[in-house]
Amino acid sequence: MNLIDAIRTIPDYPKPGILFRDITTLLGDPRAFRQSIDELVQPYAGLKLDKVAGIEARGFIIGGAVAHQLSAGFVPIRKKGKLPHDTVSIAYSLEYGVDQMEIHADAILKGEKVVLVDDLIATGGTATAAAQLLRNLGADVVAACFIVDLPDLGGADRLRAMNVPVTTLVEFAGH
């Protein structure tokens, strides 16, 4: 199955000129969802990974399934104020300002091998901040994987510049 066919494009969302790549259609298609998880897991099969970290919110869906397949633990990376225990946070830039994300302070043990997961990589602001947050806790960020890459926005290259290998399943050039 060609996964790109399972992803809906919504023009002018959330603002004019943006082509929003909506993976909810892929998630709703059992074959496409299974294939996506199988392809995301494949590069790491047989490696001893400790954790999969998923970025809120679609990264929870994908990351949970990837962690299950890899027999690894799952760690949520959430927006500020959403986690109930002691947290570590990091601020990162958005197009329109600054935001923060958090992880439980005890979610990662020093030296644990972690794969970062989200649905889409665009400019890489969120993903690079998440990778730094994991490293701040002592994680060995083995890789990052995404279903969709918008390569013209350079996010995957930003992660690679941090020495984080990146796997993506489909690209939308010109986003």
Say if residue 11 is exposed, middle or buried (CB neighbours under 10 Å; 0-12, 13-18, 19+). exposed
Buried b (16+ CB within 10 A) or exposed e, 31-56: ebbebbbebbbeebeeeebbbbbbbb
The catalytic position among 58, 135, 160, 171 is 58
Residue 34 catalytic? Answer: no
d(CA 66, CA 169): 14
Chain centroid to CA 124: how far? Answer: 10
Active-site residue identified among 21, 39, 78, 95: 95
Element (H, E) at 141: strand 140-149
Give yes or no: 8 in active site. Answer: no
Q: Is the dihedral of CA 117, 121, 150, 153 positive or negative?
A: negative
Q: How far apart are CA 133 and CA 172, in angstroms?
A: 28
Q: Is 36 left (phi over 0), alpha (psi -120 to 50) or beta?
A: alpha
- How many other C-beta atoms lie within 10 A of the C-beta of residue 9? 12
Catalytic residue ranges? 58, 95
